[in-house]
Structure 1
């Protein structure tokens, strides 16, 4: 019954449409074939769907070329070396920071025992999560910047020596610019310290707060919230100026000593490169020398960065140094130096050892890939 009703309705609809079509044709005087054409124009078929298509560029080859560059290999080598070093030496970093800012015991053994008693073994890795987040980009940027600036300076010096230095003529006065008196290694080291500090300083502030006051800042999210609430964005850059002042001599001396000792040792032994054990030793000695020279500035920097936690904060680096000398004498400028050496020497040695090892692996693979690509037949 339902099917019959449907057929009847369909026939009724068709008949009605034909009748209306005939009536319209008679009234308007339009032949039936033209009438059907007009009706079809009045009800045209729907237009095809509109598709908006943007051809995307093929970034695969460009990305592959970027990955195969020397700079990317050095950047990745620095990141991996920093991560592996900090994972091993986190307890020494915790003890050193506490001693520098005057929290807890004044000697290494007492500070170690105090942390174990109050926080357990995990207390030795307090702030290590943020430390890892800090050291990976810091070490990558620092080592990558050092290598890049050193090469750029060396290349520029060679070009100026061959083609002559640029000259500035002012009337009868002629000034010649020369870079021969600058050490590419020293300039690269200074640039590495400045660039990495400017980029990663907020992470350093967070790491120190988490290490010194874990009861106030139990985790990273709470630390970020409290620091921003108490002082705004500027608090994350507290101590930036003294950090730059302290980093400049340290970074310059650190890289200069490493490169100088490495070249001198290789010349003396008549060898092309250092073994892994020799890298460890040379890196440790370069870190010790640089740390000893710049350590008073490190003490002042730490005082400025965490001074608010102790209820008093020196207004500047000179005031911080004067405060230390007034309270503890000149020896106070080297408070925690032994703990710092215990951390800096293995950290520096292990970092250089891992960095050179990763660089050998990554850059050798890239050189092989580039050689294979260039020697492949082109169809």
Structure 2
């Protein structure tokens, strides 16, 4: 998957803020595609007429707001997910490093997969809430908000309902990691040059390509997971799921039996189209936020350009540069104070 490069010129708080801002913007803009994808995976009536008609049906039945259902909880989920993922990833990578601090690409991708599972475990109830909010009709809502959704599911269906389908997240992590590994191991053959020479555009294309291959391999697991999250005997029409099932294995069987094997990739068109604008906005918004932070820290002369501030050592970290500034300020103050004393 594409990753946002860490810049030592930003503080940890600033880096986290930039990632959060970028994620919020990219998710909000591509929310209609996510709504269509999830409705297609669950099998609601909106997706019966095809990809483009799905947008029109959602708009006609639920209004413009229907295309942004569940976006708030999706954005809220970003922050704890990113924090847990980053912390877990660092710990796993540290355990697998050799004496020189090197880790193989396969182990790094595997560490990313494990970190993703750990982060999903913490934030999974929010994902269930997102699915329930998206599949309901917002003009006749069963749930009125994130907190209400979580509370009502817990009270009426029990704690396990908030983790229904989580095992599919674990199972889907392996083909997902395999897809990423397959792409990144062949990038030098694709571009006919070593990875350290890749430009920003090449890295962006690599990320989109890895995401496309990885999600293709893991998509059936996500489709079944969404159906399991959505189905409930306490909801109208059992949550709008197009097949009824008793468990994970039965869901796979019922889908293939009644809808055909390609039904496991329902909503794949929306998911694939979403890749490029999502990552494009992710990188663009991250860079914009990063420029503001670099300007605030004193590394660049304007938040609208990357022109470096003259005389500033760009190799210094944000806290180190702050210490240098403080030292120079104190030295100048003492020099002025000494000059005034000499005049007297």
Same fold (TM over 0.5): yes
TM-aligned CA deviation for residue 347 of structure 1: 2.3
Aligned with residue 95 of structure 1, among 17, 33, 36: 36
TM-aligned CA deviation for residue 208 of structure 1: 0.4
SS of structure 1 residue aligned to 2:245: coil
Q: 1:190 to 1:360 in 2, by over 3 A?
A: farther
**Counterparts of 2:206 and 2:41 in 1: how far apart (Å)?**
26
SS of structure 2 residue aligned to 1:134: helix
Q: Note the alpha carbon deviations across 1:172-229, whole angstroms, 9 max, x for none.
A: xxxxxxx87x723212311221121011101000000000013222433432332122
Q: 1:261 to 1:358 in 2, by over 3 A?
A: farther
**Counterparts of 1:350 and 1:114 in 2: how far apart (Å)?**
27
Q: Which runs of 5+ in 1 are unaligned?
A: 1-66, 162-178
Q: 1:369 to 1:255 in 2, by over 3 A?
A: farther
Instruction: Give the structure 1 partner of residue 334 of structure 2.
Output: none
**Counterparts of 1:158 and 1:352 in 2: how far apart (Å)?**
33
Q: Which runs of 5+ in 2 are unaligned?
A: 1-7, 298-315, 332-344
Aligned with residue 319 of structure 1, among 250, 254, 258: 250
Q: 1:121 to 1:69 in 2, by over 3 A?
A: closer
Instruction: Give the structure 1 partner of residue 127 of structure 2.
Output: 204
Q: 1:132 to 1:212 in 2, by over 3 A?
A: same
Aligned with residue 20 of structure 2, among 72, 76, 79: 79
Q: Note the alpha carbon deviations across 1:143-174, whole angstroms, 9 max, x for none.
A: 5644x2575256x223599xxxxxxxxxxxxx
**Counterparts of 2:51 and 2:268 in 1: how far apart (Å)?**
10
Instruction: Give the structure 2 partner of residue 268 of structure 1.
Output: 193
**Counterparts of 1:263 and 1:363 in 2: how far apart (Å)?**
32
Q: Does 1:244 align with 2:155?
A: no
SS of structure 2 residue aligned to 1:197: helix
Q: Note the alpha carbon deviations across 1:327-376, whole angstroms, 9 max, x for none.
A: 11111111221122122443244335545775687689581431452683
Instruction: Give the structure 1 partner of residue 323 of structure 2.
Output: 373
Kept in 2: contact 1:150–1:188 (CA 8 A): yes
Instruction: Give the structure 2 partner of residue 286 of structure 1.
Output: 210
Instruction: Give the structure 2 partner of residue 110 of structure 1.
Output: 53
Kept in 2: contact 1:279–1:349 (CA 8 A): no
TM-aligned CA deviation for residue 115 of structure 1: 0.6
TM-aligned CA deviation for residue 102 of structure 1: 0.3
Instruction: Give the structure 2 partner of residue 5 of structure 1.
Output: none
SS of structure 1 residue aligned to 2:317: helix
Q: Note the alpha carbon deviations across 1:268-307, whole angstroms, 9 max, x for none.
A: 28865533x4444332222111110101111111111112
Q: Does 1:229 align with 2:155?
A: yes
Higher relative contact order (CA 8 A, sep 6+): 2
Instruction: Give the structure 1 partner of residue 274 of structure 2.
Output: 343
TM-score normalized by the length of structure 2? 0.71
Q: 1:268 to 1:192 in 2, by over 3 A?
A: same
Kept in 1: contact 2:44–2:135 (CA 8 A): yes
Q: 1:348 to 1:191 in 2, by over 3 A?
A: farther
**Counterparts of 1:265 and 1:357 in 2: how far apart (Å)?**
30
Q: 1:157 to 1:267 in 2, by over 3 A?
A: farther
**Counterparts of 2:285 and 2:212 in 1: how far apart (Å)?**
18
**Counterparts of 2:121 and 2:67 in 1: how far apart (Å)?**
28
**Counterparts of 1:368 and 1:70 in 2: how far apart (Å)?**
6
Q: How many residues align?
A: 291
TM-aligned CA deviation for residue 82 of structure 1: 1.4
Kept in 2: contact 1:285–1:345 (CA 8 A): no
Q: 1:68 to 1:314 in 2, by over 3 A?
A: farther
Q: 1:335 to 1:305 in 2, by over 3 A?
A: same
**Counterparts of 1:71 and 1:221 in 2: how far apart (Å)?**
29
Kept in 1: contact 2:228–2:248 (CA 8 A): yes
